[in-house]
Amino acid sequence: LARDLRLSMFNKIQRFSTQDFQKFGTSSYINRTTRDIQSLSQTIGFSMNLILMAPLMFIGSILLSMRMNFELSLVLLGSIPFLGIAIVLMIISVSKGFTTLRQTTDRLTQIIRDTLTGIRVIRAFNKSEYELKRYDEVNEGYRKLLFDLNVKFSLITPIMMITINFANLAVVLVGANLVQGLQLDIGSLMAVIQYSALVLVSLLMLAFIFVMVPQGLVAARRINEVLDQENIQKFVETERGLEKIETVEFNNVSFKYEGAEKEMLKDVNFTAKTGEKIAIIGSTGAGKSTLMNLLLRFLDASSGELLYNGVNIQDYTEKELRQQIAFVPQNRMLFSGTIRENLKFGNENATDEEMIEALKLAEAWEFVSSLEDGLDSRVEQKGDNFSGGQKQRLSIARALVKKASVHIYDDSFSALDAKTEARLRNNLKKINEDSIVFVVAQRITSVTDATRIIVLNEGEVVGIGTHDELKVSNQIYQEIMNSQSSLEELEDTNE
């Protein structure tokens, strides 16, 4: 059960869109896939051991005690409602506590995750004490919740034992009167007392089952929230036989994030064809990365159409669409393993020669070949054993290995020095002839050789043209250009 649930959860989460992930948060998804499934599995395992034994013991003991003496059996049965009330009150009391405890666990995990991933920034800003205080506040809340639940759990045994002892006392007193009146012999009384003990032990087992149930129910509800979560994006199941993307067309495309007051992109129109390099430039927050997310269908347009080969992007299956796109993200994400494994993430059938060629094009072969294990050199979590520039070049090489018909570079040259970037851009011209290249950039020097440059400002296209055209006709482009360097320096770089 646990294995199948983990597999189902993992498969479901992999299919979430960017917006779907925002519903619960990364840390909550991790806890739901691990701790909640473990809790549900333990609850079911514990309950299965008792759920058959307890009812059989309860029913059998009641029937046998009634066979011995019906009057004493009624005394015994009279204690059951009190136990039932105590169990119900306990379940009601702890159910809400378990829900809050799980939410607090998510919060603790989130703080730990933020601290570990952002430890350098925290230390640089001397915020270690602040983060410790923030964690301590949530941790203290977690301690209080756990203490409160433990107190409630600790009351179960005393309540049960008091009820059992009173029931036994009542059986003994009534039985003694019956023995004195010669209505019952001592042997039968002792048998009924033994049966009453078995009845109450079976109820104790059921009580522990019912106490475990709230934990399992909370875990099951949190798991079902993920499994039942409707994907915002719907992919078709039938492939169209897409072998190569030759044209990309934005037709009045607009996009608005859920809950946002204004559109992030508004009425975007342009067409790109094989052999073209399309550069996207604009100030921070202009919508450049959002545009790239639309190309990958991480997001869906709020209005308008995005067409690949004249067909709406939503009419392609997820597999055939993504198979044609090579993507280099801003965050330079590398996976734990080896350089070879990371490159094969782009193409699992890639040969060593193809990987080396991609590394050379990405200006990464020089440092990779200098490593003792070369392609088999170890990559730590997120590539933390490499510099920012090295991670960026490895990410680019991974995309090149894929040999896709569309290449997307989302601010992928920012960690490179000017000379390395110039060599890299020159190398990438070799793949431009047979693919469509999209480049998001902050620096003018990264886009001067583009077939066309699209200038974005507050989500709107305010200019389309070459570097030479825009530098004399577009005010926004001129402002970006002048803020970075003089016109003469740009001309020298372009030459």
pLDDT digits (tens, 9 = 90+) for 295-326: 988 888 989 999 999 999 999 988 889 889 99
Cα 57 to Cα 410: distance, rounded to the nearest angstrom? 67
SS3 460: strand
Burial group, residue 133, by CB count within 10 angstroms (0-12, 13-18, 19+): exposed
pLDDT tens sequence across 376-433: 999 887 788 888 888 889 999 999 998 899 999 988 887 778 788 888 888 888 777 8
Residue-level pLDDT at 273: 93
Taking CB atoms within 8 Å and a gap of at least 24, the contacts of 21-29 are 23/229, 24/106, 24/225, 24/226, 25/106, 25/110, 26/110, 26/113, 27/106, 27/107, 27/109, 27/110, 27/113, 28/106, 28/109, 28/110, 29/226
Residue-level pLDDT at 485: 62
Determine the average pLDDT of the residues in 167-179.
80
pLDDT tens sequence across 97-115: 777 888 888 888 888 877 8
Residue 305 β-bridge partners = 251
Would you tell me how many other CB atoms lie within 10 Å of the CB of residue 177? Answer: 12
> How much is the mean pLDDT over the chain?
83
CATH superfamily of 2-227: ABC transporter type 1, transmembrane domain (1.20.1560.10)
pTM: 0.70
Residue-level pLDDT at 431: 75
Least confident of 174-178, 422-426, 433-437: 174-178
Helix (H) or strand (E) holding 451: none
Higher pLDDT, 51 or 267: 267
Q: Where are the domains of the chain?
A: 2-227, 247-494
The reply to whether 247-494 shares the fold of 2-227 is no
Residue-level pLDDT at 488: 47
Residue-level pLDDT at 487: 46
Asked if the model's pLDDT at residue 251 lies above 90, the reply is yes
Residue-level pLDDT at 354: 92
For the ranges 16-25, 176-185, 352-361, the maximum mean pLDDT occurs at 352-361
Would you tell me how many other CB atoms lie within 10 Å of the CB of residue 118? Answer: 14
Cα 177 to Cα 191: distance, rounded to the nearest angstrom? 16
> What does CATH list as the number for 247-494?
3.40.50.300
Q: Are 300 and 314 in contact (CB under 8 A)?
A: yes
Cα 427 to Cα 424: distance, rounded to the nearest angstrom? 5
